């Protein structure tokens, strides 16, 4: 059965914000870098009437996925679409199975889930190393339920917001949720706009790989498709500028303003080297 994971209430709220002249920012994959997210939100200078949409993959890889989820859930101006990493966490985060993980958990852990587990355990462990297992389990289950209910895409008058994209070989209104979460090449290589009236804003695929023809000059920059909507806008814009890059490449988090078309970026705030990555695997 095709999953039509939209939220009319969220779409109405976002469109009302745009219609009334307020800013709506779409932000690419955050991947656990909460300090960087907070710094970018500060840079966006949000009013109470502005809105933010996180394009999925809030979690995994970076040092504080727990805090990214807390920020997203606690600020009423922030909405989210589901990413493939949220989907993996919903299916794979089982505290009781940490010592003998099943296949879903192994897949998730080896795709950045180790860091997420570590961040949750850290936030429910006191200074003496005592873990509040009951509250930890309750928080994990509550966050998983929230993630499971996230829309897989949102549709506005001139925009589609989705984590990975759409399959150009299928009816755009009749696609499985898994397409919205996982698709790559067929979407990026589409020779016609997915929706001739709406630009697709997406994350998931690092723009460095989409801007490969530009060489190093394309690193850390949004990707704009050469296909266009009927009003001449790029049919698709990629915003995953790879905040988890190593120190040899730009590690940027990107926000795109649907009202003004402005792009704002911030360099990763958290120090994050090889030792940090290895430490995140120890829970």
Q: Which of 109, 73, 110, 71 is nearest to 93 (CA)?
A: 109
In 3D space, the residue among 221, 152, 237 whose CA is nearest the CA of residue 188 turns out to be: 237
Q: Are 79 and 52 in contact (CB under 8 A)?
A: yes
Crossing angle of the two packed helices 114-123 and 65-74, in degrees rounded to 10: 70
Specify if 135 maps to a domain. Answer: yes
pLDDT band at 55 (very low <50, low <70, confident <90, very high): very high
Domain count of the chain?
Answer: 1
Whether residue 173 lies inside any domain: the answer is: yes
Give the pairing of strands 263-267 and 252-257. Answer: antiparallel
- Is residue 2 included in any domain, yes or no? no
pTM reported for the whole predicted model: 0.94
Name the band, by pLDDT with cuts 50, 70 and 90, for residue 194. very high
Residue 217, pLDDT score: 82
Residue 97 has pLDDT above 80, yes or no: yes
Distance in angstroms (rounded) separating the CA atoms of residues 40 and 28: 11
Residue 32 lies in a domain: yes
What is the model's pLDDT at position 283?
47
Read off the pLDDT band of 271 (50, 70, 90). Answer: confident
Structural domain includes residue 3: no
What value does the mean pLDDT of the chain take? 94
The residue segments making up the domain with residue 203 are 8-279
Residue at 33 is within a domain: yes
271 found inside a domain: yes
- Please report, for the domain that includes residue 229, its CATH number: 3.60.21.10
Whether 53 maps to a domain, the answer reads: yes
At 3, the pLDDT band (50, 70, 90 cuts) reads very low
């Amino acid at each position: 059965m095709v999953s039509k994971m939209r939220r009319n209430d969220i779409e109405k709220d976002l469109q009302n914000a745009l219609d009334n002249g307020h800013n709506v920012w779409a932000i690419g994959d955050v991947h656990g870098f909460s300090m960087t997210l907070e710094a970018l939100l500060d840079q966006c200078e949000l009013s109470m009437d502005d809105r933010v949409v996180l394009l999925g993959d809030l979690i995994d890889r970076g040092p504080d996925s727990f805090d990214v989820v807390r920020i997203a859930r606690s600020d009423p101006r922030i909405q989210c679409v589901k990413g493939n990493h949220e989907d993996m966490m919903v299916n794979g985060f089982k505290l009781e199975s940490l010592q003998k993980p099943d296949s879903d958990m192994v897949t998730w852990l080896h795709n950045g889930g180790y860091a997420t587990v570590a961040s949750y355990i850290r936030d429910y462990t006191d200074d003496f190393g005592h873990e509040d297992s009951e509250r930890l389990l309750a928080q994990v289950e509550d966050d998983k339920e929230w993630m499971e209910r996230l829309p897989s895409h949102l549709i506005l008058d001139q925009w589609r917001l989705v984590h990975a994209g759409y399959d150009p070989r299928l009816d755009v209104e009749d696609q499985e949720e898994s397409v919205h979460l996982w698709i790559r090449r067929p979407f990026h290589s589409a020779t016609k706009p997915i929706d001739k009236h709406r630009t697709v804003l997406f994350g998931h695929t690092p723009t460095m790989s989409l801007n490969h023809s530009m060489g190093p000059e394309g690193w850390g920059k949004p990707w704009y498709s050469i296909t266009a909507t009927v009003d001449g806008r790029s049919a698709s814009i990629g915003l995953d500028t790879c905040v988890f890059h190593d120190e040899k490449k730009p590690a940027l988090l990107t926000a795109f303003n649907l009202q003004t078309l402005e792009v704002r970026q911030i360099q990763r705030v958290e120090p994050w080297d090889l030792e940090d990555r290895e430490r995140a695997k120890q829970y």
